[in-house]
Amino acid sequence: MNIEEEKLSEIEAQLFCPKGEKGIEMGEAMHATNIGMTLAAINALEIYDECNILEIGHGNGKHVGNLMHEANGLRYFGIDISESMHNEAIKNALPFKDQVSFCLYNGVNMPFEANFFNKIFTVNTVYFWKNPQEFLEEVYRVLKPGGHFSISFADKTFMQQLPFVKELFALYSADDMEVLALGSPFKLLKIDQKEEKVTSKAGEEITRIYHVALLGK
């Protein structure tokens, strides 16, 4: 592997599971670039007072304040596989410490009882689910009947243009997501397509196409 390839593999690994100082920098960059996708996933949920909310793969958690202003009496739970993101999110959500909790977990088994959450969301993590069908079944287990799960993800064609996207990523089009959702216990309520301008790592403005899938139990 040459130096350029090594750098790209390092970026890919940091996106999958941010580690150390470089991981913290990646967390900042992700927050800045992905806040639009995060707010779209939150909006799709139509959050109301007293909801128990779970976020899967929260990154540095700088958006948690936006979420806590959506309604009164919310409880937010965040789970992630990255120790660096876990620690950053605890720091960044400190003003809301009485309403939030964070948990490091193994990326598979969610440390919650069945039927616990009213709303669940995840942004830019679907690419890393090891067994997507089992993952959806686990999300279904912890969601209350009548609850909603939103998944925000960048479109396969957009992702294929990024030089650091290699074997750690599984890519999805809206049709691929539909197949995944229909093979799960969830009802597929809708998949919205959106686009936004973002700045690439090379500093140029590019158009990102992404989707927000809304699933119901």
Contact map string, positions 80 to 119, toward ligand SAM, x by CB under 6 A: xxx--x---------------------x------------
Give whichever of 7 and 50 is closer to ligand SAM, judged by the CB atom: 7
Contact map string, positions 129 to 168, toward ligand SAM, x by CB under 6 A: x---------------------------------------
Among 52, 92, 118, 125, binds ligand SAM (CB under 6 A): 125
- What is the residue type of 77? F
Cα angle 209-212-214, degrees, rounded to a multiple of 5: 160
Q: Tell me which residues in 44-83 interact with ligand SAM (CB under 6 A).
A: 56-57, 59, 79-82
In the complex, minimum distance from the CB of residue 116 to ligand SAM, in angstroms, rounded to a whole number = 17
The first and second tokens of residue 155, run together, are 């479109």
The per-residue DSSP string of 92-147 comes to HTGGGTTTEEEEE--SSS-SS-TT-EEEEEEES-GGG-SSHHHHHHHHHHHEEEEE
Distance CA 6, CA 32 (A): 24
Instruction: Centre a 10 Å sphere on the Cβ of residue 167 and count the other Cβ atoms it contains.
Output: 7
Residues 178, 151 contacting (CB under 8 angstroms)? no
Contact segment (CB under 6 A) with ligand SAM among 31-39, 68-76, 161-169, 179-187 equals 31-39
Interface positions with ligand SAM (CB under 6 A): 15-18, 30-31, 34, 37-38, 56-57, 59, 79-82, 85, 107, 123-125, 128-129
